[in-house]
């Protein structure tokens, strides 16, 4: 066994991080679909020849964990029948987690005829042949959600396998974009292959392997030290999803977290079994979410290099919505994950009081409008909506920020929406009094009010009204989400989930997203901070008095005599 | 007879670099003086006095300033009130609602320059087509007028929806406020940035209002301090973020344009160097003691953007792309979990490297360079500072002890790590644009660039390094190489297949009228005026645009469409000529040519007596001769290892590398095995 000195090890560690960034840059640069190159709904990874993660770059934080598992599936399926120039793809929800839209491409990397690693690139394909175009909201089994692929060789020794390419083309409504995006994923893998080849040309495969072992060991050591430093104990929390997307019953999610020495154990016993709607999630992606939640608390600033997360053990019951098996539907797999993350972070907040963070508003809160007209052709305006985040041990939660499992999604400006689509944005503002009160309050949700200027269709997927963002350490809960539909004939409805439905011109859709939970006793929040929140319109004068015991006079000053003493 | 000079000043935090060019001969010289942050004019005047003897006079003066940028970074701009539409009060504080750090649950949005309590709303609304949906309710503004009695606002920023289509409401609000608050500066979004996207335009407008008083104060102070040193007519020129220059009067009108005035000089110098040497593709790296910036010149032109991000807040304006790569010389070497790391933390200039002796205890890259003999400890920054080699060596030895390495081994290791890291960062920038760095020459400047350049080039597999003339003051040199430039824009959204060429022509002509007026105010008319047109395009369904330059002459719709498809192919590796295209904005650059002499190579000087110093290469000390750059003649070649010294910088030529002079007196370093 060769050894690598600390200098070479550090050069290799920096290399794998940078190599992953180059792979992602290459993917974004050549992808055909805006959801990849603008929405950054993709992830890439460089792994060793066993599938151990070395470097990773992701546009969606949720993709942090479940790529290495794809390499293991490829190796299990193909064994030694893996050759230089091969490319494999897969999207099976039960193998890799996520929904069928997320297709992972995997390529072995050889150096002088020897397997030295794998590159992988996952990207969201807009259409994979499901029952509805785009994201179906009504699937109840996976066969309705599109083409399902286990590990599948589509390029053999550098040569495309024609029948597989044709098969893909025949199973999507967007043939050109799909094949183009696949090409971009392959380009990303080739970038990794080329960059690793350059490094190996300099230092050789033996030294590289030795450096990788050092990197794994360093990451393990850092994780063990981090977990050992926090308080031992067992904590449990539960919450409910509003429904599974097709039914009306709340869906229970329960998480128990144990810290014991250098180990952290997560057990989902008590969580609902598989559900009829599509909020089931494959085990790999469940684990991926838990890695994300772990990272936000333990190591938010650290690059993801090998060995990370080995200190976390996940126990999934056999019958569990987060351990989806055939034929459970998985299209909206991420909806339950936002709640799961909040439960995890709240439990770990007990072990790490200095990083304690209350729950956030919780889901992507998707609103879409679409139609076909002679001028624009087919048009679609679809966006997730921001909300409030949880108060922290030492500061307030942020207002109007996109949810945890997303990252880089931005709101559509009123000026862009109104110029391009027959939809007017009548209001976009902070939702007052939506934040959970606390010594450190939660962040506020937002109000977005849309008016349809022509007949069109609308669809809505909102969540977390049954378990809005809760507070910690005496902090109060944030308000849950609300939606109001006002039709031109005067009828008013308030659906949180709505499948594609016709909206006549003049219909007004107002969405109000939830706030974050508070942290600490609101009666300990200073007069000055409450007065500032009132002057900024985040907290009303009534709420200042009822939630914080602070009386604000007409001129904005604090009436100390009428307030609860601090 | 008096000698006329064109002079430029790059005013940095520590040093003010001065470059002067003899108008008759075209020859340039350079010097450095310590900056005087309280009154930057003092350093400029001292520098000018040094370079202009009694019989010298200023023919032209341009400078780059960081006054606006510093006011932004230290949050010392003016107190601003913001006026927005009713129901859209929170546009500026909500921002894009994306998360800046995707793995953090503690991330906060950038602190806005105007807090919510200083935002005022007004009823009334303009629609997307410019029509009035609701009339303006001016009485809403009385709350702001009343607040001014107690709030001490210095400026008001007005940003209303769709003002770029119909400015009537913004103008009416301005008139109402100006009549009641005559002493306040009022800035309107349709003037500052007539471009769609309300958050970005509001942020741009607020930043302009925030900086305007500061920048105006600074310019008027500098102008009066320089007094009769300024050339006839008193014109003081300021470098712009877009790489052009403008007069002080124009800078007072558009203060935002001075924001990135300092660092762009290097990129513009790169453009001039590209033209002079016939090398179209350059990676320009500016390495100071504690900073490291990179910019690209592609096919002879600096890479530019239509939006800049500062402190996380967007600003809609044309800027030359400057990529901040990392701390460079200031990066700290440290230990974590039994591993060695370098950066990203930096020692900055205070406490700075151990060798500065200002209290720094953690070894940084500059300490490693000193220990290996790559910096001259006795003659650092022109002898202004003595460096402590022993202190640096013992700090490195202490770190190395845990890894069984001595001071020199540790120093080499730190440099190897940081070079690999910087090369990785540069490579990522080029890959994002679909470029192979190996096809580029590396231009290295700044105080520390020429000492590191060859090693960096080896990492990038680049075969040629260019050390330009006056590398330590190259940004200032670049400022002498540019013309007057003003950018104008207008959001003109349409499907490309649904707009008439005449509509576009009329819109451009409207912008040209504005451009001519600006240039004429600066005394530039006739054939010195020219225009460059461009349009922002994208395929239908996309969000990002590509800015496509238009050829001169009548608008040729088919050709422009084809140019977009071709540009898309270059950027993304594929295109979709069958897809519909949307145009979003039209852009016009109004250019005013400045008279300037041809650059002449520096005069050759007699070499000083032979000198040498011990420098470590590949783990061994080697006696290395020291050569004066100005003694190298045309046709001479210098073989490494060697140290090439000049007033503003020191070039390190490793073994295996050769240096020779090329066009314009610039110096090319190449690897023998690559030739």
Cβ pair A282, A275 in contact under 8 A: no
Closest residue to A429, CB basis, from B89, B102, B341: B89
DSSP B102-119: TT-SS--PPPPSS-GGGE
Across the interface, of A225, A395, A398, the residue whose CB is closest to B109 is A398
* CA A358 from centroid of its chain's CA atoms: 18
Q: Chain A partners of B496 at a C-beta cutoff of 8 Å? A: none
Does residue A477 sit within a domain? Answer: yes
Contacts of A21 in chain B (CB under 8 A): 428
Q: Which residue has the tokens 């785009």?
A: A134
Domain-ending residue, one of A221, A244, A268? A221
CB contacts < 8 A, A to B, total 202
Using the beta-carbon criterion (under 8 Å), do A395 and B106 form an inter-chain contact? Answer: yes
ω into residue B351 within 30 of 0, thus cis? Answer: yes
Higher pLDDT residue, A37 or A194? A194
CB contacts, 8 Å: A292 with chain B: 103
Q: What is the pLDDT of residues A362-400, one digit of tens each?
A: 999 999 999 998 888 888 888 899 999 999 999 999 999
Nearest to B420 among A14, A31, A419 (CB): A14
Residue B138 lies in a domain: yes
Q: Which residue, A221, A243, A278, sits at the end of a domain?
A: A221
**Residue B27 and residue B103 share a domain:** no
- Do B229 and B333 lie in a common domain? no
List of chain B residues whose C-beta atoms are within 8 Å of the C-beta of residue A301: 103-104
Closest CA–CA distance from residue A8 to any residue of chain B (Å): 8
Average pLDDT along chain B: 90
Among candidate residues A542, A549, A547, the one with its CA nearest the CA of residue A564: A549
Place of tokens 């060789």: A153
Q: What is the CATH number of the domain that holds B103?
A: 3.40.50
pLDDT score recorded for residue B289: 65
Quick one: tokens of B182?
């005559």
In-domain check, residue A341: no
Instruction: Provide the 8-state DSSP code for A392.
Output: B
- Candidate from A38, A61, A413 with C-beta closest to B198: A413
Cis peptide before A214 (omega within 30 of 0): no
Are residues A407 and B98, on separate chains, in Cβ contact within 8 Å? yes
Domain count for chain B = 4
Task: Count the domains in chain A.
Answer: 2
Specify the 3-state DSSP secondary structure of A53: strand
Whether pLDDT at B483 is above 50: yes
Give the gap in angstroms from C-alpha B424 to the nearest C-alpha of chain A.
6
Q: How far is CA B471 from CA A298, B63, B274, B467, in A?
A: 45, 17, 15, 6
Contacts of B128 in chain A (CB under 8 A): 415, 418-419
How do residues B604-642 score in pLDDT, each as one tens digit?
A: 888 888 889 999 998 899 999 999 999 998 889 999 899
Which runs of E-coded beta strand occur in A112-151? 114-124
**Residues B201, B84 share a domain:** yes
Quick: pLDDT tens for A299-353. 887 777 766 788 999 999 999 999 999 999 999 999 999 999 999 999 999 999 9
Residue B26, classed as helix, strand or coil, is coil
Predicted confidence band at B290 (pLDDT cuts at 50, 70, 90)? low
Q: What is the value of ipTM here, to two decimals?
A: 0.93
A-chain residues within 8 Å CB-CB of B89? Answer: 429, 537
* Whether B84 and B207 share a structural domain: yes
A289 belongs to a structural domain: no
Is A14–B421 a contact, with Cβ atoms under 8 angstroms apart? yes
Of B215, B207, B212, residue with least CA distance to B189:
B207
Range of the domain at A374: 356-525
Choose among B93, B115, B417: nearest Cβ to A10.
Answer: B417
Nearest alpha carbon to residue A294 among A222, A243, A241, A238: A222
The residue ranking higher by pLDDT, B57 or A464, is A464
Distance CA A549, CA A555 (A): 18
**Does pLDDT of B145 surpass 80?**
yes
CA distance linking residue A238 with residue A233, whole number of Å: 17
Report CB contact under 8 Å: B117, A535: yes
The CATH number of whichever domain residue B44 belongs to comes to 3.30.420
How far apart are the C-alpha atoms of A527 and A508, rounded to whole Å? 38
Query: Tens of pLDDT along A475-486?
Result: 999 999 999 999
pLDDT band with cut points at 50, 70 and 90 for residue B311: confident
Which of B417, B434, B455 is a domain's end point?
Answer: B417
Residue A278 is assigned to a structural domain of this protein = no
Nearest to A408 among B94, B102, B574 (CB): B102
Residues with Cβ within 8 Å of residue B669, at least 6 apart in sequence: B453, B454, B457, B464, B465, B466, B467, B651, B653, B657, B658, B659
Which chain A residues are Cβ-neighbours of B420 within 8 angstroms? 11, 14-15
pLDDT, position A61: 83
Residue of B nearest to A16 (CA): B424
Per-residue pLDDT tens digits for B19-36: 999 999 999 999 888 888
How close is the nearest chain B Cα to the Cα of A9, in Å? 8
In terms of CA atoms, which chain A residue is nearest residue B544?
A38
B340 CB neighbours in chain A (<8 A) are 6-7, 9-10
> What's the first-to-final CA gap in chain A, in angstroms?
66
**Strands B667-671, B642-645: parallel, antiparallel or unpaired by DSSP?**
unpaired
B553, B570, B592: which is the final residue of a domain? B592
The pair of three-digit structure tokens given for residue A378, joined into one six-digit string: 């087919």
Mutation pick from A3, A4, A5, A7 vs chain B, by most beta carbons of B within 10 Å, is: A7
Residue of chain A whose alpha carbon sits nearest to that of B195: A415
Domain match, A216 and A360 both: no
**CA atoms of A75 and A68, how far apart (whole Å):** 11
Record: contact A428-B88, CB cut-off 8 A: yes
Chain B residue closest in CA terms to A388:
B97
Cβ distance A58 to B102 less than 8 Å, yes or no, reads yes
Please judge whether A222 and B336 are an interchain contact, meaning their C-beta atoms are less than 8 angstroms apart. Answer: yes
The pLDDT-based confidence of A28 (bands split at 50, 70, 90) is confident
The torsion angle over the Cα atoms of residues B347, B352, B355 and B358, rounded to 10 degrees, is -140
- How much is the average pLDDT of B475-483? 94
Does A196 reside within a domain? yes
Interface contact B341-A218, CB threshold 8 A = no
Test mutation, A415, A417, A427, A519, chain B, max B CBs within 10 A: A415
Measured in angstroms, the CA of A276 and the nearest CA of chain B are apart by 32
**Pick from B645, B637, B624: which is nearest to B675 by CA?**
B637
In a shared domain, residues B224 and B187: no
* DSSP-derived secondary structure for A75-98: HHHHTT---TT-EEEE--HHHH-S
Strand partners, B326: B292
β-pairing, B308-310 vs A456-461, is unpaired
Residue B400's pLDDT is what?
94
Chain A residues within an 8 Å CB radius of B572 = 29-31, 37
Asked if pLDDT for residue B434 goes beyond 80, the answer is: no
Is A532 a member of any domain?
Answer: no
Joined together, the tokens standing for residue A350 give 């007990």
Cβ distance of A34 and B542 shorter than 8 Å: yes
Q: How far apart are CA A338 and CA A361, in angstroms?
A: 9
User: A258, A319, A321, A251: which is closest to A286 by C-alpha?
Assistant: A321
Among the ranges given (A328-337, A557-566, B246-255, B483-492), the one the predictor scored with the smallest mean pLDDT:
B246-255
Residue A230 domain flag:
no
Mean of pLDDT values over B193-211: 96
Cβ contacts (< 8 Å) between A415 and chain B: which residues? 128, 161-162, 196-198
Residue B399 scores a pLDDT above 90: yes
Whether the CB-CB separation of B506 and B554 falls below 8 Å is answered with: no
CA distance A14 to chain B (A): 6
Under the banding of pLDDT at 50, 70 and 90, the label for residue B325 is confident
* Mutation to test the A interface, candidates B105, B130, B412, most A Cβ within 10 Å: B105
Residue B489 shares a structural domain with residue B561: yes
Q: Is the pLDDT of residue B327 over 80?
A: no
Which residues from B are below 8 Å from A414, CB to CB? 88, 161, 198
pLDDT-derived band at B233 (thresholds 50, 70, 90) equals: low
Q: Do B105 and A390 touch (CB under 8 A)?
A: yes
| Same domain (yes/no): B12, B59 | yes
Give the pLDDT band of residue B396 (cuts 50, 70, 90): very high
B525 and B559 share a domain? yes
Q: Which residues pair with B586 in a beta bridge?
A: B490, B535
Verify whether the Cβ–Cβ distance A537 to B89 is below 8 Å: yes
Give per-residue pLDDT as tens, A253-268: 999 999 999 999 999 9
Cα torsion through B116, B118, B123, B129, rounded to 10: -70
Distance CA B311, CA B326 (A): 16
Cβ density class A430-464: b for 16+ within 10 Å, e for less: bbbbbbbbbbbbbbbbbbbbbbbbeebbbbbbbbb
Nearest CA in chain B to A187: B573
CB atoms within 10 A of CB A486: 16
Same domain, B86 and B203: yes
B40 and B84 in a single domain? The answer is: no
Q: B365 to chain A, minimum CA–CA distance in Å?
A: 14
Q: Are the beta carbons of B87 and A429 separated by less than 8 Å?
A: yes
pLDDT for B411 equals 95
DSSP single-letter state for residue A42? E
One-character DSSP codes across A147-180: ---SSEEEEETTEE-HHHHHHHHHT-S-HHHHHH
- Check B544 against A7: CB less than 8 A apart: no
Q: Which domain holds residue B25?
A: 3-71+216-236
Nearest CB to B431 within list A25, A180, A406 = A25
Of A296, A360, A414, the CB nearest to B103: A296
B407 domain-assigned: yes
Q: Mutate which of B88, B90, B203, B338 to disrupt the A interface (most A C-beta within 10 Å)?
A: B90
pLDDT confidence of residue B674: 47
Q: Which of A279-283, A404-408, B339-343, B670-674 has the lowest mean pLDDT?
A: B670-674
Q: Which residue of B has its CA nearest to A423?
A: B128
Do B120 and B200 lie in one domain? The reply is yes
Residue B119 lies in a domain: yes
Q: Do A38 and B98 touch (CB under 8 A)?
A: no
Question: Among B75, B336, B379, which residue's Cα sits nearest to residue B211?
Answer: B75
**Pair (B83, B206) in one structural domain:** yes
């Amino acid at each position: 066994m060769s050894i690598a000195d600390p200098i070479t090890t550090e050069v290799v560690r920096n290399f794998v991080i940078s190599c992953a960034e180059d792979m992602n840059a290459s993917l974004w640069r050549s992808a055909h679909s805006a959801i990849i190159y603008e929405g950054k709904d993709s992830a890439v990874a460089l792994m060793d020849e066993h599938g151990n993660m070395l470097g990773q770059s992701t546009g969606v934080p949720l993709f942090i964990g479940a790529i290495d598992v794809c390499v293991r599936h490829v190796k299990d399926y193909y064994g030694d029948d893996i050759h230089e120039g091969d490319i494999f793809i897969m999207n099976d929800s039960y193998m890799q987690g996520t929904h069928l839209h997320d297709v992972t491409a995997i390529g072995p990397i050889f150096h002088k005829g020897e397997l030295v690693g794998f590159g992988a690139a996952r990207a969201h394909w807009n259409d994979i042949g499901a029952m509805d175009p785009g994201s179906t909201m009504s699937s109840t089994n996976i066969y309705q959600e599109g083409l399902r692929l286990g590990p599948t060789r589509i390029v053999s020794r550098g040569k495309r396998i024609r029948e597989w390419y044709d098969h893909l083309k025949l199973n999507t409504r967007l043939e050109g974009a799909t094949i183009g995006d696949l090409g971009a994923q392959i380009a990303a893998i080739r970038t990794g292959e080329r960059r690793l080849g350059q490094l190996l040309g300099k230092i050789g495969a033996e030294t590289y392997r030795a450096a990788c072992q050092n990197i794994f060991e360093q990451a393990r050591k850092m994780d063990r030290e981090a977990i050992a430093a926090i308080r031992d104990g067992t904590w449990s929390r539960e919450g409910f999803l509003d429904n599974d997307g097709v039914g009306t019953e709340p869906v229970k999610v329960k998480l128990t977290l144990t810290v014991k020495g250098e180990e952290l154990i997560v057990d989902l016993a008590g969580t609902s079994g598989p559900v009829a709607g599509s909020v089931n999630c494959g085990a790999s992606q469940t684990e991926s979410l838990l890695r994300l939640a772990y990272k936000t608390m333990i190591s938010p600033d650290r690059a993801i290099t090998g060995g990370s997360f080995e200190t976390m053990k996940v126990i999934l019951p056999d019958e569990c919505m987060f351990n989806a098996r055939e034929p459970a539907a998985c299209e909206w797999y991420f909806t339950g994950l936002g709640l799961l993350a909040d439960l995890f972070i709240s439990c770990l907040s007990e072990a790490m009081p200095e990083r304690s963070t209350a729950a956030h508003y919780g889901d992507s809160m998707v609103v879409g409008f679409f139609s076909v007209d002679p001028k624009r052709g087919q048009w679609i305006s679809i966006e997730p909506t921001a909300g409030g985040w949880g108060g922290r041990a030492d500061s307030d939660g942020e207002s109007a920020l996109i949810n945890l499992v997303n990252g880089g999604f931005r709101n559509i400006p009123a000026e862009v929406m109104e110029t391009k689509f027959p939809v007017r944005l009548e209001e976009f503002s902070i939702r007052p009094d939506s934040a959970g009160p606390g010594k450190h309050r939660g962040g506020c949700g937002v109000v977005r009010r849309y008016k349809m200027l022509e007949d069109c269709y609308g669809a809505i997927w909102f969540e977390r009204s049954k378990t809005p963002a809760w507070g910690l350490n005496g902090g109060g809960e944030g308000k849950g989400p609300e939606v109001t539909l006002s039709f031109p004939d005067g009828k008013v409805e308030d659906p949180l989930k709505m499948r594609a439905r016709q909206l006549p011109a003049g219909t007004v859709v107002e969405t109000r997203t939830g706030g974050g939970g508070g942290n600490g006793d609101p009666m300990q929040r200073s007069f000055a901070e409450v007065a500032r929140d009132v002057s900024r319109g985040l907290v009303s004068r009534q709420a200042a008095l009822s939630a914080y015991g602070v009386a604000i006079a007409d001129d904005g000053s604090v009436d100390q005599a009428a307030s609860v003493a601090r | 007879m008096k000698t006329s000079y064109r002079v430029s000043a790059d005013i940095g935090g520590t040093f003010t670099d001065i470059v002067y060019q003899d108008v008759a001969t075209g020859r340039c010289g350079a010097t450095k003086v310590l900056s005087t942050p309280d009154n930057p004019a003092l350093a400029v005047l001292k520098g000018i006095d040094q370079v202009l003897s009694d019989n010298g006079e200023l023919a032209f003066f341009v400078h780059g300033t960081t006054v606006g940028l510093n006011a932004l970074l230290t949050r010392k701009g003016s107190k601003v009130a913001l006026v927005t539409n009713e129901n859209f009060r929170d546009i500026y504080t909500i921002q894009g609602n994306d998360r800046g750090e995707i793995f953090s649950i503690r991330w906060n949005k950038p602190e806005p320059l105007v807090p919510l309590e200083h935002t005022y709303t007004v009823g009334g609304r303009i629609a997307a087509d410019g029509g009035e949906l609701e009339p303006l309710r001016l009485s809403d503004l009385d709350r702001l007028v009343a607040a001014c009695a107690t709030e001490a606002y210095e400026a008001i920023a007005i940003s209303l929806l769709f003002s770029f289509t119909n400015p009537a409401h913004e103008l009416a609000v301005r008139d109402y406020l100006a009549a009641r608050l005559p002493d306040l500066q009022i800035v309107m979004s349709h003037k500052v940035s007539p471009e769609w996207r309300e958050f970005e335009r509001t942020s741009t407008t607020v930043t302009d209002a925030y900086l305007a008083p500061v920048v105006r104060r600074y310019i008027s102070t500098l102008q009066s301090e320089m007094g009769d040193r300024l050339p006839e007519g008193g014109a003081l020129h300021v470098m712009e973020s877009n790489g052009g220059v403008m007069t002080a009067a124009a800078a007072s009108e558009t203060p935002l344009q001075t924001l990135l005035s300092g660092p762009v000089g290097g990129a513009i110098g790169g453009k001039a160097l590209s033209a002079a040497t016939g090398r179209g593709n350059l990676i320009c790296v500016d390495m100071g003691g504690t900073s490291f910036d990179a910019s690209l010149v592609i096919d002879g032109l600096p890479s530019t953007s239509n939006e800049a991000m500062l402190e996380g807040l967007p600003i809609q304006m044309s800027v030359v792309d400057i990529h901040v790569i990392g701390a460079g010389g200031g990066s700290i070497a440290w230990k974590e979990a039994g591993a060695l790391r370098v950066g990203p933390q930096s020692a900055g200039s205070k406490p700075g490297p151990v060798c500065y002796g200002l209290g720094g205890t953690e070894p940084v890259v500059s300490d490693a360079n000193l220990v290996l003999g790559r910096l001259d400890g006795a003659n650092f920054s022109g002898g202004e500072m003595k460096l402590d080699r022993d202190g640096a060596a013992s700090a490195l030895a202490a770190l190395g002890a845990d890894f069984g390495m001595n001071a020199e081994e540790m120093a080499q290791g730190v440099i190897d790590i940081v070079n690999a890291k910087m090369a990785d960062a540069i490579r990522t920038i080029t890959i994002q644009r679909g470029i192979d760095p190996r096809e580029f020459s590396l231009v290295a400047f700044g105080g520390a660039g020429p000492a590191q350049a060859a090693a960096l080039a080896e990492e990038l597999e680049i075969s040629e390094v260019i050390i330009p003339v006056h590398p330590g003051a190259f940004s200032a040199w670049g400022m002498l190489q540019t013309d007057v430039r003003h950018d104008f824009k207008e959001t003109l959204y349409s499907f490309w297949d649904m707009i008439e060429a005449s509509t576009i022509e009329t819109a451009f002509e409207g912008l040209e009228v504005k451009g001519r007026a600006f240039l004429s105010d600066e005394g530039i008319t006739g054939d010195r005026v020219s225009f460059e047109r461009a349009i922002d395009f994208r395929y239908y369904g996309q969000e990002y645009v590509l800015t496509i330059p238009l050829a001169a002459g009548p608008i040729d719709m088919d050709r422009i469409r084809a140019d977009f498809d071709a540009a898309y192919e270059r950027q993304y590796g594929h295109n979709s000529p069958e897809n519909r295209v949307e145009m979003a904005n039209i852009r016009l650059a109004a250019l005013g040519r400045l008279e300037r002499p041809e650059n002449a190579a520096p005069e050759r000087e007699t070499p000083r007596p032979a000198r040498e110093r011990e420098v470590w290469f590949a783990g061994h000390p080697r006696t290395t001769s020291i050569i004066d750059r100005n003694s190298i003649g045309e046709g001479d070649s210098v073989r490494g290892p060697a140290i090439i010294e000049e007033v503003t910088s020191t070039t390190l030529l490793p073994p295996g590398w050769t240096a020779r002079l090329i066009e314009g007196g610039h110096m090319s370093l190449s690897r023998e095995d690559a030739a």
